[in-house]
Amino acid sequence: MQRTIPIIVCFVFGLFMLIQFFVPHRISVSAYQTVLDWMQIVFVFTLLVGVISYAKLNAKKVTRTQTGWGYNLIGLVGLAVMVILGLWKGTGEKTAFLWTFNNLQAPMQSTMFSLLAFFVASAAYRGFRARSWEAGLLLAIAIVVMLGRVPLGSFISQWIPDAANWILRTPSMAAKRGIYIGIGLGTISTSLRIILGIERTYLGGK
Amino acid sequence: MSRQLIFILIALSVAIPLVIRIGLPNEVTSEVMHVYEEIDRLEAGSVVLVSFDHEASSLPEVKPMAQAILHHCFAKKLKVIGLALLAEGTAVGEQILRATADEHQAVHGQDYVFLGFRPQYQAAILGMGEDIRRVFPEDYSNTPLARLPMMRKVKNYEDICLIISVSDGDMPKRLAVATTAVMATSFYPFLSSGQMVGLLGGLKGAAEYEMLIKKPGMGQRGMDAQSVCHLVIILLVIAGNVGYFMKKPSTVGRPPSAAKAK
């Protein structure tokens, strides 16, 4: 029963969403809108599950003083502080929540993102080797695109940005299109397997 | 070369051009020009929807793009609806929209509104196609949409002339995208198929748009730093390869597996 009911719910709603797309009747449109509203409501609860899971996991590491428990404690304090500030005076203009977001969270997240430049440079120096003909070609294309996407490229020669744009608009786009078609076909087949109850791993267990 | 030295070189290559301007000439690509032309041809009073679908981490890259596009929209006297489909885009989007609107003396509720954030973006995008009020009954400041003058004539996408997604990830009518450079390649198939009118890719996209609206900002300033940084990385790659070929001349041109077997 624990598995049968979710499979029936999934089949009914999957089939409904598939059929309603072709039925423009107001009852179909209204039911579709209701399902969309419920999708958002359910999603909010999944956020809640995420926060509870994060808090439990980190609290466990702190209470057991596992390696790096200090970082887990900072994470928990950060979560609690942002929730308290948001509930206390809201999230609008000139609130402590917004100040904390602008002056702590945003710079910290930007810093983490910026660190990529350092690691990319280090990794490129150590790992980007023309070990084979294919690797050499990849390296040459990477250099052309890197130069072509900055003003320095056109400063050296107009050929560089033209070549970089051609690479992005033709071979790179063709590869992306192939990937998207693959993703689309994979999504359709997986969706059908879930709707028909063939794919059951999302239910958990064995 | 030690990792520390590489890190110092990258830090200097970014910091120095930000302090001392080089002023390398930038060129406008067709993707950015199409976004500019699309906004420029709209009549005053047309409604544009700008969605801030990004996280705080990509702020240095997406903020200049959002600012440049919003300056153009307000200069053209367009009505702007702002919203966020990622939670962190809410605070960022609202601040950028308000600050830019204030610069152009645009009035909240008449010239622009900010709807706030809705979770589960697929459902929100689909829902707004039917009725925006159903997804956003109130704006970010809890004012019912029916009480906002500019929202009285806007029901769904049919009443919106252009949708601009300022994003840092994958993400409907006429759509333009301003996204981080790393994600730009993901949108070329949609650009080629005509599903998108144009594309701003990262800081370069922002710099190009700033040139078009003749309002220099962080985009153009950042391009010097990005140029020098790219050059340093290329030189590091070349140096790494020179070192590799000088060290192992016998393995040159052979696949790694063959070299290992030997």
- Interface pTM, i.e. ipTM: 0.78
The residue length of chain A stands at: 206
pLDDT band at B258 (very low <50, low <70, confident <90, very high): low
Q: What are phi and psi of B202, to 5 degrees?
A: 65, -155
CB A89 within 8 A of CB A96: yes
Cα distances (Å, whole numbers) of residue B172 to A51, A128, B66, B160, B249:
31, 39, 19, 11, 55
Report the pLDDT averaged over residues A84-105.
Answer: 89
Grouping H, G, I as helix, E, B as strand and the rest as coil, residue B194 is coil
pLDDT score for B252: 53
Residue A152 at interface with chain B, using a CB cutoff of 8 Å: yes
Q: Which pLDDT tens digit goes with each residue over A142-175?
A: 999 999 988 888 888 889 999 999 999 899 999 9
Q: SS3 helix, strand, coil % of chain A, rounded to 5?
A: 80, 0, 20
Q: Which pLDDT tens digit goes with each residue over B98-122?
A: 999 999 999 999 999 999 998 888 8
Does the structure show a pLDDT above 80 at B232? Answer: yes
pLDDT score for B122: 84
Number of Cα atoms under 13 Å in the Cβ half of residue B230 = 19
pTM of the model: 0.83
Tracing tokens 């609202």 back to the chain, one arrives at B94
The residue in chain B having the minimum alpha-carbon distance to the alpha carbon of residue A105 is: B56
**How far, in Å, CA of A18 to CA of A26, rounded?**
16
pLDDT score for B209: 93
Question: Are B234 and A143 inside 8 Å of each other by CB?
Answer: yes
The residue in chain B having the minimum alpha-carbon distance to the alpha carbon of residue A178 is: B189
Question: Are A33 and B134 inside 8 Å of each other by CB?
Answer: yes
pLDDT score for B134: 87
Beta pairing partners, B167 = B53, B179
Per-residue burial over B119-135, b if 16 or more Cβ lie within 10 Å, else e, is: bbbebbbbbbebebbeb
Give the count of Cβ contacts less than 8 A between chain A and B.
Answer: 162
Distance from CA of B146 to the nearest CA of A (A): 20
Question: Are B232 and A121 inside 8 Å of each other by CB?
Answer: yes
Please, is A140 exposed, middle or buried when counting C-beta atoms within 10 Å of its C-beta (0-12, 13-18, 19+)? exposed
User: Between residues 171 and 190 of chain A, which touch chain B (CB distance below 8 Å)?
Assistant: 172-173, 176-177, 180
- The partner residue sitting opposite B3, judged by closest CB among A42, A101, A122, is A122
User: Between residues 65 and 124 of chain A, which touch chain B (CB distance below 8 Å)?
Assistant: 91-93, 98, 101-102, 105-106, 109-110, 112-114, 117-118, 120-122, 124
Nearest to B232 by CA among B4, B43, B8: B8
Please, is B107 exposed, middle or buried when counting C-beta atoms within 10 Å of its C-beta (0-12, 13-18, 19+)? exposed
How much of chain B, in percent, has pLDDT values that exceed 90?
42
pLDDT score for A37: 86
pLDDT score for B169: 58
Report the pLDDT averaged over residues A166-192.
Answer: 93
The residue in chain A having the minimum alpha-carbon distance to the alpha carbon of residue B221 is: A151
Chain B interface, best mutation among A152, A156, A159, by max B CB count within 10 A: A152
Q: Which pLDDT tens digit goes with each residue over A122-147?
A: 998 888 888 889 999 999 999 999 99
How much of chain A, in percent, has pLDDT values that exceed 90?
50
**How far, in Å, CA of A177 to CA of B190, rounded?**
9
At the topology level, CATH places domain B9-222 in: Rossmann fold (3.40.50)
User: Between residues 2 and 61 of chain B, which touch chain A (CB distance below 8 Å)?
Assistant: 3, 6-7, 9-11, 14, 24-27, 29, 55-60
Residue B213 at interface with chain A, using a CB cutoff of 8 Å: no
Residues from chain A that touch B60, judged by Cβ atoms under 8 A, are: 110, 114
The residue length of chain B stands at: 262
Report the pLDDT averaged over residues B245-255.
Answer: 65
Report the pLDDT averaged over residues B61-76.
Answer: 93
pLDDT score for B262: 43
A206 token code pair = 């064995």
Q: Which residue has the higher pLDDT, A1 or A83?
A: A83
Residues from chain B that touch A125, judged by Cβ atoms under 8 A, are: 1, 6, 236-237, 239-240
Domain ranges of chain B: 9-222
Does the structure show a pLDDT above 50 at B194? Answer: yes
CB A168 within 8 A of CB B188: yes
Chain A interface, best mutation among B18, B94, B114, B241, by max A CB count within 10 A: B241
Residue A37 at interface with chain B, using a CB cutoff of 8 Å: yes
The residue in chain A having the minimum alpha-carbon distance to the alpha carbon of residue B14 is: A117
Does the structure show a pLDDT above 50 at B85? Answer: yes
User: A66 CB contacts (<8 Å, ≥6 apart)?
Assistant: A72
pLDDT band at B257 (very low <50, low <70, confident <90, very high): low
Nearest to B52 by CA among B99, B101, B85: B85
**How far, in Å, CA of B96 to CA of B82, rounded?**
10
The residue in chain B having the minimum alpha-carbon distance to the alpha carbon of residue A120 is: B233
Q: B112-117 and B47-53: which strand pairing?
A: unpaired
Residues from chain A that touch B91, judged by Cβ atoms under 8 A, are: 91, 98, 101-102
Report the pLDDT averaged over residues B197-218.
Answer: 90
Does the structure show a pLDDT above 90 at A32? Answer: no
**How far, in Å, CA of A18 to CA of A23, rounded?**
10
Q: What is the largest CA-CA distance in chain A?
A: 70
Q: Which pLDDT tens digit goes with each residue over B142-187?
A: 899 989 999 988 988 888 988 998 876 554 557 888 988 888 888 8
